[in-house]
């Protein structure tokens, strides 16, 4: 059975999260291994981007961007923000997946109020 668009989008998102977790875990390894592990993470990111590019898929993250209601993301902590306060996307928890310029998987982000971010 061939992969469907949503399957590819979900696979891309899960692979992206796995690479991000690997990058965060590098800090827990002995210093002499950091360069090799960072190189492996860069290679994995590059392979993912190359494969997805051939399929017309793009991964979008919004770390550091000002949160706007029209972004293709869901803020997991939106209810914790003061209404009317400007918010910054502190980190992407799950990326937005775009196939042929159409959002097929909405991302998830964590927000901070703009004054807290500075």
3 vs 111, more confident: 111
Between 82 and 12, the more confident residue is: 12
For residue 55, give the DSSP letter: T
Separation in Å, CA 94 to CA 34, 51, 64, 112:
25, 19, 15, 17
pLDDT for the residue 65: 95
pLDDT tens for each residue of 47-77: 999 999 998 999 999 999 999 989 999 999 9
Enter the pTM of the model.
Answer: 0.83
Q: Residue 83: pLDDT band by 50, 70, 90 thresholds?
A: confident
* 58: nearest Cα among 11, 103, 109: 103
What pLDDT, on the 0 to 100 scale, is given for residue 1? 62
Assess whether pLDDT exceeds 60 at residue 116.
Answer: no
Contacts of 45 (CB under 8 A, 6+ apart): 19
Domain range for 108 = 5-117
Total structural domains in the chain? Answer: 1
């Amino acid at each position: 059975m061939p992969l469907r668009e949503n399957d590819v989008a979900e696979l891309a998102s899960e692979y992206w999260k796995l690479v991000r977790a690997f990058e965060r875990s590098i800090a827990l390894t002995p210093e002499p291994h950091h360069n090799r592990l960072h190189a492996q993470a860069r290679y994995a990111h590059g392979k993912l981007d190359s494969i997805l590019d051939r399929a017309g898929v793009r991964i979008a993250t919004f770390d550091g961007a000002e949160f706007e209601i029209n972004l293709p993301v869901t803020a997991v902590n939106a209810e914790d923000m003061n209404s009317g306060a400007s918010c910054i996307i502190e980190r992407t928890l799950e990326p937005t997946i775009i196939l042929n310029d159409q959002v097929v998987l909405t991302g998830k982000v964590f927000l901070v109020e703009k004054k807290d971010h500075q």
